[in-house]
Structure 1
Amino acid sequence: MFRSQVRQSVINALIDRAATRNYGKYLPKLTLKRVRGFENQPISFDFPVTAIIGPNGGGKTTVLGAAACAYKEVSPRRFFAKSGAYDESMQDWSIEYELIDRNLAQRDTVRRTTSFRNRRWNREAPDRRVLIFGVSRTVPANERTELAKCATTSFAVPEDRVTAFSDRVREAVGRILGKDVAGYRTMKVRRDGRIQLLTGRTKGGTGYSEFHFGAGESSIIRMIAEIEAGEDQSLILIEEIENGLHPVATIRLVEYLIEVADRKKVQVVFTTHSNEALLPLPSKAIWVATEDRLFQGKLDVGSLRAITGQITREVVVFVEDALAKTWVETAIRQRQPAFIDHVEVHAMEGDGAAVKTHRYHNANPVTDVPSICYIDGDSRQEVDGPSGIYRLPGAMPETYILDSVLSAWDRFGGKLSVALLKEFEQAPDVKRVCEEISHTNMDPHLLFSQIGERLSLLPEETVRMAFCTIWAQAYPEEADAIVSRIVALRRAETA
């Protein structure tokens, strides 16, 4: 199970800061009134580090560009260039903004519009420092024309143009890349510093230039150095954050961005195709961009594939979280084992996200695979049978499953003990642990992880799978009620 190095208290504080708008400069919301395939699509930045995910051509860079165009420093042409008659569709494009700028309004937000009319961009944009890191940042040094003159045996610069990185830059880069970068330097190729070349040093003391760096290594060093040198409350935009990086380095980079958002009050928006980049973020920090829609919520690449029609199965099921996914899948395996190969179940990290994604999926004309949605018993979303939205049994999933299995202990306690990697004869001890935790637990979402900790540090996933499997065996009629709706949906489509 993933555990971020960012404390939950920091995440909560940043969510609260965005909600209370405790910033001098911040972009809380923009609306794509009409841009490319989007019409009247709002996106709110409820966390200062926001990930935009979606398929190729889905509009991730459009959102990034729209955010950039809120401020005077960035020309709209950087993201939305017009190529004569070939881009006539840009006429009447419009983006609306809700901005925080305490220089313009001490207590309220400021509203601005960027629009393209009469063959030109029109806007009244406020000042804010904007740092943009495009995909070109990972181009290797030997392919960058501005560094060509550095690739000679006679190249050298005066020592006063070679600078060590600050302790904060070295610390951040070292943590992200997992290596000691104490010997790294940057040199000014030109006196004005507009062109720079990096240098490093091996553990043995041998120096080497950026021409021998990995592309990801070089991009991280340059990016961190620029962010640390940048102004507080800047807007930072990053395209394809995972480019050139190992998955672990991607996670560490996002964790660094959260830390710097806390420390320097910066705002970050990045695009990604990486599940790892999403792991440290809360659900409300993630937005999906499809060809014509934006919606909020954490989901993985498999779920994204489902809502964009790239599916090889015959039925899709959208659920709230990992427990519901395990619950539905184990019910299918126990009651209709042959059917498991025909269905995809996707955890959406939230009931609202599950319902919205399900509705979008079924309304999307490019998808020909039907979906169904199961929300938890404690969800505030409404059941809607005609639309395929149903409720799982019980008021609180973890509590319901645990209590149900404990009620059937005489018949299934031994099997559960074995599923929890204990001896059959240890069933009484396992039951005692389960009952103690049931009585002392204050957060039902932690029930299975707490049981796992007491039973020789079993992973939560193992405990969850064991309880869901035994529940499906002990309560076949309730399991059938879940599975039958999914099977019926497949039959209706193949009839």
Structure 2
Amino acid sequence: MIYEIVKNINALQQLKDNDIHKKYIEYIRYPFFRNLAPDSKITFDFPITFLVGKNGGGKSSTLQSLYGCPKGYSLGDYWFTTELDPIKEFDKNRNCFIYGYKDNGSINEVIKQRIYRDNDPDYWETAKPIKRYGMLNSQRFSPIEKDVVYLDFRTELSAFDKFFHFLKFRSNTHKTKQDFLRFYSNKLKEAFDTNKIISYYSPNRNKPKVVLTKIETKIVSEILRKEFETIEIIEHNLFKDWGTSIRLKQKNINYSEAFAGSGETAIVILVHKIFNAEKESLILLDEPETSLHSGAQKRLMSFLIEQCIKKKHQVVISTHSPFLIENMPNDSIKVFSTLSSSGKFVIDNDRNYKEAFHELEIENTNKKNILVEDKIAQIVIDKTLEKLGKATQDIFETKYLSGGADDINQRLTTIMEFTDDTYVVFDGDQKKLQMPIDLNSIPLNQQDTSIKLKALIKSQTGCDVKFYLNGGNQSKELKEKETHSLAKKYLEFYNRNVFYLPLSIPEDIIWDEVFAKKLLKLIQPEKDISAITNISTNSKELLFNFCRECYGENTQYESTILQFVANWINKEDSSYTYIKDLINQLKN
């Protein structure tokens, strides 16, 4: 199953890379929108996108904004002002979102902005391009034309569950809810059996019955691992409010949603709606894993991928499930986290699934995290931890972050907001200063503005770091004060939590020419080490060329690295002592 999913993921990536989709939202950005940090942006690098983060982190409101992107759809259907929860607007900075889609090879940007009207206080309209938001075009483009399927699985209740668990019961003719359901279930059975429109006390109590096709029924059966012969759906208001009822038929048993699990009802509705969606639809799913066990979640993901390949859908999923995003490309995972300084939500556009679920505290949050920029650095630190013993090893978790040092330096603006037990160990060549900047040793007149502090940060990191500020119509003085505070916090965090490997790159640490000669003699006795050293300019090339000379290919590169690391660990040289002492420092 995993092999098939990975193969289909690769096929889906090729469709995106080859620009097969004709109606595709490339990105959405938020100059000012609800509780997102100003100028937040999501890039849709893969046809299926996952929004991951804690509850109340802005994922659902982001899905709703996507619902409002295509022509004929409005965010006002889901987000509207009330006396209790009024939506506040600023004169210049109104709630809005901007998205881009391709048209004949170029990007059309569309801005949708909330405009108050007396007869419609929740009206969203396509506005003229706004220069201060950096819009690409000068002309107003029409919204993308795309069908939308939006399913919120926390509220996708069956008609039975909605009535029995949530509606207040009042009846002059029935003593209990059970009596009421027994009576009106007869009417519902009549609608299922005859496909009639019931008109009991009022006309049109139901819509025509829908019978799932054999293919749809097979898909539901595969996801739920049950053998269904027929599946029927009816929308009705026989249980006081409009809702959906299903009837499932197996070989020896028939039952409705009253006896089905809520997961079964949700899957029937999802499969039917997605299977019958128009080509290149925008599919928005809010927590589809609700009431599904892990195996069903994985099979659901397989179905979604197949439908995306066949119909070129664009899918965005809000989820708390590691089973849905496992094996997915890093750039398909968007992590929502909260800035403690402002309460605003920020979005990281490229995280692997293990990193993403650190945000949800699914992993052991008692562990200290060590972030590195290189896979070999991760192996070096992990092997050192292993040698130091299980007690020390259990304290730490080493994580390799793709994207390089500059990307990690930027991520620290978020990391510093919610943890002090995360450390960074950069390669030695990232060390720009002999000693980290300690603000206590710098005169106040050299750190009294954000510009001066940013210059210090650049001297430390080698890059320009962007800080996320509070929204609203802030004065320049307030923005300067907030930026200054965040920059100061960044430098203090850097001083406490950022360290470096003893040599320029981790390959320098593990390369050992004496060991290489011995290993080469064992594997390729006719070859000489000079054949490797003469064509290599650094330790990275030495290890790469050594692997190729020994094995004739590079598939054994990781095992070669592990051999050199084991040799290095056994030597316990000065680099090992340096890293061991660093780990003991972090431990305490």
Q: For this structure pair, what is the TM-score category when the shorter chain's length is used for normalisation?
A: 0.7 to 0.9
Q: Deviations over 1:129-158 (max 9, x none)?
A: 110110335535532249998754523224
Q: Among 322, 330, 334, which residue is 1:287 paired with? A: 334
Could you say if the C-alpha distance between residues 320 and 86 of structure 1 is closer, same or farther in structure 2, counting changes exceeding 3 Å?
Answer: same
Task: Report how many aligned residue pairs link the two structures.
Answer: 438
Deviation for aligned residue 1:110: 1.6
Question: Is 1:256–2:303 an aligned residue pair?
Answer: yes
Change (3 A) 1:261 1:393: farther
How high is the TM-score relative to the length of structure 1?
A: 0.74
Distance in 1 between the 2:275 and 2:574 partners? 59
Contact residue 334 and residue 469 of structure 1 kept, 8 A: no
The Cα shift of 1:198 comes to 1.8
Q: What does residue 537 of structure 2 align with? A: none
Alignment check: 8 A CA contact 1:51 1:278 kept: yes
- Residue-by-residue CA offset, 1:40-96 (whole Å, 9 max, x unaligned): 111110000001111222221232122222123432123422223733445411211
* Bigger mean CA offset, 171-180 vs 269-278: 171-180
Q: Which residue of 1 aligns with 2:322?
A: 275
- Other-structure match for 1:331: 384
Shift of the 313–199 alpha-carbon distance from structure 1 to 2, 3 Å rule, reads: closer
SS of alignment partner, residue 370 of structure 2: strand
Please say which of residues 330-339 and 212-221 is displaced more in the overlay: 330-339
Residue of structure 2 equivalent to 1:247? 294
Paired with 1:307 and 1:212, the residues of 2 have a C-alpha distance of 33
In the alignment, which residue of structure 1 is the partner of 2:69? 70
Assess if the C-alpha contact under 8 Å between 2:24 and 2:314 holds in 1: yes
Q: CA deviation at 1:246?
A: 1.0
Q: Deviations over 1:278-313 (max 9, x none)?
A: 113111111111133111223346664469899854
CA contact (8 A) 2:50 2:317 kept: yes
CA contact (8 A) 2:45 2:332 kept: yes
Instruction: State whether residues 361 and 371 of structure 1, in contact with CA within 8 Å, keep that contact through their aligned partners in structure 2.
Output: no
Query: Which 10-residue stretch deviates more, 254-263 or 469-478?
Result: 469-478
Deviations 1:397-432 (A, max 9, x none): 7xx79999877779xxxxxxxxxxxxxxxxxxxxxx
Question: Hey, what does 1:367 align to over in structure 2?
Answer: 419
Residues 1:80 and 2:79 are matched in the alignment:
yes
Q: Which runs of 5+ in 1 are unaligned?
A: 411-433, 452-462
Corresponding letter in the other structure for 2:246: L
In the alignment, the residues of structure 1 paired with residue 371 and residue 109 of structure 2 have an alpha-carbon distance, to the nearest angstrom, of 37
Partners of 1:274 and 1:437 in 2: CA distance: 44
Distance 1:51 1:260 in 2: 16
Distance change in 2, residues 1:335/1:195 (3 Å): closer
C-alpha displacement at 1:485, in angstroms? 3.6
Counterpart position of 1:441: 553
TM-aligned CA deviation for residue 170 of structure 1: 2.7
Task: Report the CA distance between 1:159 and its aligned residue.
Answer: 4.0
Match of 2:56 in 1: 57
The AA in structure 2 aligned to 1:80 is W
Within 2, Cα distance between the matches of 1:333 and 1:362?
Answer: 26
Which segment drifts farther, 31-40 or 110-119? 110-119
TM-superposed CA distance for 1:488, in Å, is 3.7
Q: CA–CA distance in 1 between the matches of 2:504 and 2:519?
A: 18
State the 1:253 CA deviation. 1.5
Range with greater deviation from structure 2 (319-328 or 135-144): 319-328
Q: Please state if 1:201 is matched with 2:252.
A: no
The one-letter code of the counterpart of 2:22 is G
8 Å CA contact 2:152–2:288 kept in 1: the answer is: no
Measured in 1, the distance between the counterparts of 2:400 and 2:356 equals 8
Tell me by how many angstroms 1:172 deviates. 2.6
Unaligned runs of 5+ in 2: 127-142, 168-176, 196-207, 339-344, 437-493, 521-545
| Cα pair distance change 1:403/1:332, threshold 3 Å | farther
In structure 2, what is the equivalent of residue 346 of structure 1? 399
3-state DSSP of counterpart to 2:73: coil
Against the structure 1 CA distance between its residues 37 and 403, is the aligned structure 2 distance closer, same or farther, given a 3 Å change threshold?
Answer: farther
| Matched residue, 2:109 | 111
1:6 is displaced (CA, Å) by 2.1
**Considering only CA atoms, is the larger Rg found in Structure 1 or Structure 2?**
2
Deviation at 1:97, TM superposition (A): 0.8
- Amino acid in structure 1 at the alignment position of 2:551: H
TM-aligned CA deviation for residue 171 of structure 1: 3.4
CA shift, 1:112, in A, is 0.6
Match of 2:99 in 1: 97
Contact residue 46 and residue 285 of structure 1 kept, 8 A: yes
